[in-house]
């Protein structure tokens, strides 16, 4: 019971950044002295601090606020993509304290090279952390299917990896507990915990640079399917007259709305990168005719895809992330109109569309939350396991 209460207080402080003792007392239905006692134990453990809040409590007593101890504990969060690798140090409370983007635009398909690059960067971030700050774990976001029970990376098609104990290898190398999850699932959870989907339980996040993936939350939990393959929304066949997809089908959502689709529609070379992609969107915003038409065509197919997802999942919110988020911000009306035409009235009336609130940090935020989970469940026990 005590363990549960300590975990609840720490989770509240972590998620909200600060919590008054009065509010914790009211929320948890415990008396003031019990809350005081629990907070004292978390303070003693170096996890939180108490400070007087600016607002005065009842009877003129200054109310005490509980905040994360900034130099107390942190986790390492890794966002591995096909062509990007970022490692960050994230503090209790969710602040990204330090972040390294390792050799942008490099190909990360060599497993040994990748594990070493991640481990070296983690070591560097740990050395740069304030002395006394404790690292309680590492969270990894990967572009592949992860077996939930033991974290085995089953299949990462765009990296060419099959059945790799990626998390375990890195955990051993760093001597830290390592947890690993699919990038789309983590993106959706991150938006749910700290982003545009905060407060919503039924969420679809569409994202992706090269391929298009979906992170789907049903009742606040990731929808994974039998083998972890659920959410492959990039291969919804939206345009039977469309281009050949790398999956063998034609006119998949991915071929119609991926970054290359916009480049191709605007007469640019596919594969010419995000700078070229943003240039097309900027020129569309400035009214350049070819770019306006290209953005509108791609936005239309994006809306068709959104409509299918709205009919299938009846979500509270559909979030467009990454390049799709940038496209959405430039073409919101076109996307909304196409989505409306391809969805039923009832679920359409219940859904909001939004661009990601976390941007390129979504996977880092999600991976950090994953790594914090054991501490939030059992703060004192987790710390003592680390000391041992």
Binding residues for Zn ion (CB under 5 A):
235, 245, 247, 249, 252
Q: How many angstroms from the chain centroid is the CA of residue 223? A: 15
Q: What are the structure tokens assigned to 44, written together?
A: 């003693």
- Both tokens of 124, joined, read 């560097």
Minimum distance between the CB of residue 210 and Zn ion, rounded to whole angstroms?
12
The answer to whether 231 and 215 have CB atoms below 8 angstroms apart is yes
Cβ distance to Zn ion smaller for residue 117 or 245: 245
Rounded CA-CA distance 202/268 in Å is: 37
Could you give the dihedral angle defined by the CA atoms of residues 237, 238, 242 and 248, in that order, rounded to the nearest 10 degrees? Answer: -10
Q: Compare residues 260 and 361 and give the one whose CB is closer to Zn ion.
A: 260
Tell me how far, at minimum, the Cβ of 265 lies from Zn ion, in Å: 18
CB closer to Zn ion out of 187 and 213: 213
Of 83 and 235, the one with the shorter C-beta distance to Zn ion is 235
To which residue do tokens 């101890």 refer?
69
Start-end of H helices in 30-93: 32-44
Q: Answer for the pair 90, 75: CB distance below 8 angstroms, yes or no.
A: yes
Query: How near is the Cβ of 369 to Zn ion at its closest, in Å?
Result: 31
> In this structure, what token pair is assigned to residue 200?
């919503």
For Zn ion, the closer CB: 235 or 386: 235
Residue 144 and residue 184: Cα distance in Å, rounded?
9
Which one, 252 or 362, has the nearer CB to Zn ion?
A: 252
Minimum CB separation of residue 264 from Zn ion in Å reads 16
How many whole angstroms separate alpha carbon 266 and alpha carbon 38?
60
Q: What distance lies between CA 170 and its chain's CA centroid?
A: 20
Residue 216 beta carbon to Zn ion: minimum distance, rounded to whole angstroms: 18
Q: Is 354 helix (H, G, I), strand (E, B) or coil?
A: strand
Question: For residues 188 and 253, which CB has a smaller minimum distance to Zn ion in the complex?
Answer: 253
Write down the least CB distance from residue 371 to Zn ion, Å.
33
CB of 109: closest distance to Zn ion in angstroms? 20
Please give the radius of gyration of the chain, using alpha carbons only, rounded to the nearest integer: 23
Q: Between 262 and 292, whose beta carbon lies closer to Zn ion?
A: 262
Task: Give me the least distance between CB of 235 and Zn ion, in Å please.
Answer: 4
Report strand pairing: 221-222 vs 213-218.
Answer: antiparallel
308 Cβ contact list (under 8 Å, min separation 6): 236, 238, 342, 343
The whole-angstrom distance between residue 192's C-alpha and the CA centroid of its chain comes to 9
* Nearest-approach distance from CB 319 to Zn ion, in angstroms: 22
Closer by beta carbon to Zn ion, 235 or else 264: 235
CA angle 239, 306, 216 (to 5 degrees): 120
Candidates 220, 144, 146; CA nearest to 178 is: 146
Q: Tell the smallest beta-carbon distance from residue 168 to Zn ion (Å).
A: 31
Which residues make Cβ contacts (< 8 Å) with residue 297, sequence separation at least 6? 265
**How open is the CA angle 226-232-238, to the nearest 5 degrees?**
130
Q: Residue 137 or residue 211: which is nearer to Zn ion going by CB?
A: 211
């Amino acid at each position: 019971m005590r363990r549960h209460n300590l975990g609840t207080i720490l989770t509240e402080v972590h998620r909200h950044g600060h919590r008054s003792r009065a509010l914790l007392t009211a929320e948890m239905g415990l008396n003031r002295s019990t809350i005081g006692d629990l907070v004292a134990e978390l303070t003693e453990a170096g996890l939180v601090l108490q400070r007087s809040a600016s607002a005065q409590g009842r009877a003129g007593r200054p109310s005490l606020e509980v905040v994360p101890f900034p130099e107390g504990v942190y986790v390492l969060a890794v966002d591995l993509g096909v062509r990007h690798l970022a490692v960050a140090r994230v503090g209790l409370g969710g602040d990204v304290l330090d972040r390294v983007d390792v050799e942008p635009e490099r190909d990360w398909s060599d497993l040994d090279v990748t594990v070493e690059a991640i481990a070296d960067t983690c070591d560097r971030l740990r050395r740069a952390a304030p002395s006394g700050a404790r690292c309680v774990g590492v969270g990894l976001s990967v572009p592949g299917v992860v077996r939930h029970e033991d974290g085995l990376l089953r299949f990462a098609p765009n990296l060419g990896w099959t059945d790799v104990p990626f998390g375990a290898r890195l955990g051993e190398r760093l001597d830290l507990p390592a947890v690993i999850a699919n990038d789309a699932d983590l993106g959706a959870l991150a938006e749910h915990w700290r982003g545009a989907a905060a407060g919503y339980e039924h969420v679809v996040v569409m994202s992706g640079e090269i391929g298009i993936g979906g992170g789907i939350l049903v009742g606040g939990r990731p929808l994974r399917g039998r083998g972890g393959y659920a959410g492959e929304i990039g291969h919804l066949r939206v345009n039977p007259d469309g281009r050949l997809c790398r999956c063998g089908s034609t006119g998949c959502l991915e071929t119609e709305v991926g970054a290359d689709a916009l480049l191709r529609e605007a007469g640019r070379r596919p594969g010419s990168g995000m700078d070229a992609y943003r240039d097309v969107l900027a020129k569309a915003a400035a009214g350049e005719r070819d770019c306006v038409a290209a953005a509108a065509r791609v936005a239309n197919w994006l809306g068709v895809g959104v409509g299918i997802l709205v009919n299938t999942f009846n979500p509270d919110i559909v979030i467009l992330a990454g390049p799709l988020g940038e496209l959405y911000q430039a073409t919101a009306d076109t996307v909304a109109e196409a989505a409306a035409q391809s969805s039923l009235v009832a679920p359409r009336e219940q859904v909001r569309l939004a661009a990601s609130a976390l941007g390129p940090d979504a996977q880092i935020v999600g991976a950090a939350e994953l790594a914090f989970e054991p501490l939030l469940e059992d703060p004192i026990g987790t710390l003592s396991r680390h000391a041992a």
